[in-house]
Amino acid sequence: MKSLRAGLGLILGSLLAGCDAPSPETGGSTGTAAPAARTDLETIVLSQPSDALTLDPYDENESPTFAVLANIFNALVDTDSDLQLIPSLAESWTQPSDTVWEFRLRPGVVFHSGDAFTADDVAFSLDRAINWTGSEVKADVMTIARTEVIDDHTVRIHTRGPDPILLNRLTGILMMDRESTEAAVAEHGDGWTVEHPNGTGPYRLVSWRREEAIDLEAFPRFWGGEPDIQHVRFRPITNDATRIAALLAGDVHLITDVPVRDTGRIENSPTLQLIRNPSLRLIYLGMDCGREQTPGVPGSPPNPFMDQRVRRAIYLAIDEEQIAEHVMNGFAVPAGQLVPDAVFGFDPSITRPAHDLEEARRLLTEAGYPDGFSCTLDAPNNRYVNDERIATAIASQLARVRIIVSVAARPKTVFFEDEQQGRSSFFLIGWSNSNGDASGTFEYLLHTNTPERNLGSSNNSSHYSNPELDAAIQAAAVEIDRDERRRLLQRCMQIAMQDLPHIPLHYQVDLFAAVRGLDWQPRRDTRLQAFEMHWRDEAP
């Protein structure tokens, strides 16, 4: 193993030279230097198509961002690579009643700042996740009424009613340090936490040069033990060809979102390995179902997307089999509902209808659009596999039923801001229930926007509202009996697929490419946790 360490250090010596260590007060810095090369320690460079949006764990609810944060922070409860619940900062838990959960915290845990992790930090973190105006994770903690600190290592969470999946929800709530966060915010303002994370995770921030690199180093006091990988760099490379070239050149060791056209090239390489994993991510089309005047339809009102017949016509006009085969090179599974079969709440009785242009035209005529209409389809161009190409293919297919689509593809930072602010009428986007439960799809995306209950918090462009669906969502949220809860979630799915505020396209197949020396099993939740990565004896 020493020869591998030395080799890695020599390969990356110039790349990772001269970085300042983080100060214990901040847990990191955002200078322009990179970490010092250490030939006796192991290093890995990971590349995603885009940079993290923030290093504040509640500021954005986005998978590439969380892939980075999961190396710096921990939650009370975690999942393994197969989505099974496992202890993390809470070493055990009990449920004294239907509305009370008691957690026994792991002793001896410290933040990167050196502060001890206690129940007071849990109470602070949950309060911030719920009440901070910038929180994008409110829906995950919407059922929590209050947090009760029993002692330094015991905390009780009281819910407003029975919450059968509180543990699943908590896997996405990363714990923050009350003492350093409150002091830093008081001195520097809320923006400080975006670039100065202070977690309990296996790695701490060394530097972040936006759109260039996030450098992490192993935290020597990590409660889980010393990781094999000591230095981690997240290097965002937006261009697919450039990302592949960096991997072939040895500048990076693992890339995500492998372009499907390059899979054969990687499989035939003697130095690389292609790693596939069934994804939880659905790629779908959202539509503005609630505004007569909508920004992406010239001359509205009327807004054609408000008519269920139009939405169904679009569904029938899209030949997803062709997209999966020709745009995704077979690395996608056409979807007939809003979650894959691995997620609790999947309904096996729902299947995707056959592609049917004649029926699509009939429905459009019945809805009053015999000559179709024009609209804009918004999409990111650096977030999902072939996202812009998928949008372009859909525009071509919808032209066959006289729906003239102008594709507006742009970087994810711009796209998500527009979508979240309700500036889209028709949009291509993805969603993953990384905790393995379908409730997120319904509570976040399809419940009527109800801020006082933290429901419908991502229903900003669809503006969808269905009292029958709302009632089923709320009933499922408090149902303790597993079989009855499954029935309720399946009822939610049936309503959603009948009304079609969202049109499912396909489930992604997650594709990674890595040097052959790397031993790693991808997770269903797509986190890139370097703590789970190991170098084998052969050189990369």
- The answer on 426 and 320 residing in a single domain is yes
Q: What is the pLDDT of residues 377-432, one digit of tens each?
A: 999 998 898 999 999 999 999 999 999 999 999 999 999 999 999 999 999 999 99
Q: What is the pLDDT of residues 315-338, one digit of tens each?
A: 999 999 999 999 999 999 999 999
Ranges 70-79, 431-440, 491-500: which has the least confidence: 431-440
Q: What is the pLDDT of residues 56-65, one digit of tens each?
A: 999 998 889 9
Upstream peptide bond of 236 is cis (omega within 30 degrees of 0): no
- Number of Cα atoms under 13 Å in the Cβ half of residue 290: 18
Q: Which long-range contacts (CB under 8 A, 24 or more apart) does 145-148 make?
A: 145/99, 147/122, 147/123
**Residue 540 reports pLDDT greater than 50:** no
218 located within any domain: yes
265 located within any domain: no
**Residue 275 reports pLDDT greater than 60:** yes
Distance CA(276)–CA(48), nearest Å, equals 16
166 located within any domain: yes
271 located within any domain: no
- Evaluate whether 300 touches 293 at the Cβ level (below 8 Å): yes
pLDDT for the residue 62: 86
338 located within any domain: yes
- The answer on 175 and 308 residing in a single domain is no
Q: What is the pLDDT of residues 310-321, one digit of tens each?
A: 999 999 999 999
Give the pLDDT mean for 16-40: 36
Number of domain units in the chain: 2
Q: How far, rounded to the nearest angstrom, does the alpha carbon of residue 206 sit from its chain's CA centroid?
A: 24
The span from the first CA to the last CA of the chain, in angstroms, equals 12
Which helix (H) or strand (E) is 320 found in, with range? helix 320-322
- Cβ contacts of residue 375 below 8 Å, gap of 6+? 296, 297, 298, 304, 305, 403, 404, 405, 406, 425, 426
- The answer on 293 and 245 residing in a single domain is no
- The answer on 427 and 404 residing in a single domain is yes
Count of residues in the chain: 540
Q: The CATH number of the domain where 365 resides is what? A: 3.10.105.10
- The answer on 174 and 55 residing in a single domain is yes
**Residue 152 reports pLDDT greater than 70:** yes
Backbone angles phi, psi at 86, to 5 degrees: -140, 155
DSSP 420-473: HTT--SEEEEEEE-TTSBTHHIIIIIIS--BGGGTBSTT-TTT----HHHHHHH
**With 0-12 CB in 10 A as exposed, 13-18 as middle and 19+ as buried, what is 131?**
exposed
Give the pLDDT mean for 469-474: 96
Distance CA(37)–CA(161), nearest Å, equals 52
Most trustworthy range by pLDDT among 87-96, 158-167, 474-483: 87-96
- Evaluate whether 401 touches 372 at the Cβ level (below 8 Å): yes
pLDDT for the residue 23: 36
**Residue 18 reports pLDDT greater than 70:** no
364 located within any domain: yes
- The answer on 527 and 497 residing in a single domain is no
Look at 252 and 342; give whichever has higher pLDDT. Answer: 252
- Evaluate whether 240 touches 383 at the Cβ level (below 8 Å): no
- The answer on 198 and 152 residing in a single domain is yes
For 98, the token pair is 């239907």
Give the pLDDT mean for 2-12: 36
Sheet containing 90-97: order of strands: 90-97, 100-105, 154-159, 144-151
pLDDT for the residue 42: 83
- The answer on 303 and 243 residing in a single domain is no
- Cβ contacts of residue 263 below 8 Å, gap of 6+? 274, 329, 331, 511
For 256, the token pair is 């995500």
Q: How far, rounded to the nearest angstrom, does the alpha carbon of residue 485 sit from its chain's CA centroid?
A: 24
Q: Which long-range contacts (CB under 8 A, 24 or more apart) does 242-245 make?
A: 243/47, 243/49, 244/513
In whole numbers, what is the pLDDT of the chain averaged over residues? 90
**Residue 26 reports pLDDT greater than 50:** no
Distance CA(145)–CA(266), nearest Å, equals 51
In order of 41, 121, 133, 169, 493, the CA distances from 341 in angstroms are 41, 36, 35, 20, 12
**Residue 27 reports pLDDT greater than 80:** no
pLDDT for the residue 10: 35
Q: For tokens 């989505």, what's the residue?
A: 83
Q: Which domain holds residue 357?
A: 278-509
pLDDT band at 537 (very low <50, low <70, confident <90, very high): low
From the list 367, 369, 354, the residue with the least C-alpha distance to 401 is: 369
**Residue 31 reports pLDDT greater than 70:** no
**Residue 243 reports pLDDT greater than 90:** yes
274-242-45 Cα angle (round to 5)? 60
- The answer on 521 and 504 residing in a single domain is no
Neighbouring CB atoms inside 10 A of 314's CB total 25
190 located within any domain: yes
Distance CA(208)–CA(22), nearest Å, equals 11
pLDDT band at 36 (very low <50, low <70, confident <90, very high): very low
**Residue 30 reports pLDDT greater than 70:** no
- The answer on 283 and 239 residing in a single domain is no
**With 0-12 CB in 10 A as exposed, 13-18 as middle and 19+ as buried, what is 247?**
buried
Distance CA(447)–CA(496), nearest Å, equals 10
Q: What is the pLDDT of residues 344-385, one digit of tens each?
A: 999 999 999 999 999 999 999 999 999 999 999 999 998 898
- The answer on 112 and 228 residing in a single domain is yes
195 located within any domain: yes
- The answer on 366 and 217 residing in a single domain is no
Q: The CATH number of the domain where 193 resides is what? A: 3.40.190.10
Distance CA(419)–CA(465), nearest Å, equals 17
Give the pLDDT mean for 255-281: 92
Q: What is the pLDDT of residues 431-463, one digit of tens each?
A: 998 888 999 999 989 999 998 777 888 888 899
pTM: 0.73
